[in-house]
Amino acid sequence: MTLILFNKPYDVLSQFTDRGAPATRTTLSDFIAVPGVYPAGRLDRDSEGLLLLTDDGRLQARIADPKFKLPKTYWVQVEGVPDDAALAALRDGVMLKDGPTRPAQVERIDPPALWPRTPPIRVRASIPDSWIALTIREGRNRQVRRMTAAVAHPTLRLVRWRVGEWTLDGIDSGAWVAA
């Protein structure tokens, strides 16, 4: 069994080929040349961080399928500074267009020591930004971004730091390690 922990950079598709036309976007094949592995779950093109790839279908299902409720922790740079009420709403679960989210774990964190993002996030001098660590046990489309927007703190930068027991610790952006 092969398991790869990949630190997916911003603007990289979570697939090995680009089905768009013209096929000029960066994909996993630009970083990983290991045959027979496939992503266990996805990260949006504008999200960064931990993406697990494996050749084991059962492990892939355990990681990606929401019924297993594997915790996923994101470090999220948001616009503004969430107050206690906003954090409580995230902890309780927020209402999205496709229904309520499950309760999340959330806390304010100091800005993490991360690699620079290319391109950098937009900075607005009149609006501060801050960081939260958010752990969810489901994986709807763009869920973290929609959750922070629902509490009036849009996401500026999103880095998945942990999936279950696996973490990005020590893996540079664009690099991968075999677990």
Give the residue numbers annotated as catalytic, written as ranges. 44
How does DSSP classify residue 12? B
Residues 6+ apart with CB under 8 A from 2: 34, 36, 37, 53, 54, 55, 56, 178
Taking the alpha carbons at both ends of the chain, their separation in whole angstroms is 10
Residues 6+ apart with CB under 8 A from 13: 25, 26, 27, 28, 45
CB-neighbour burial class of residue 99 (10 A; exposed 0-12, middle 13-18, buried 19+): exposed
The answer to whether 177 and 171 are in contact (CB under 8 A) is yes
What is the bridge-based pairing of β-strands 48-54 and 155-163?
parallel
How far is it, in rounded angstroms, from Cα 11 to Cα 30? 12
The answer to whether 132 and 151 are in contact (CB under 8 A) is no
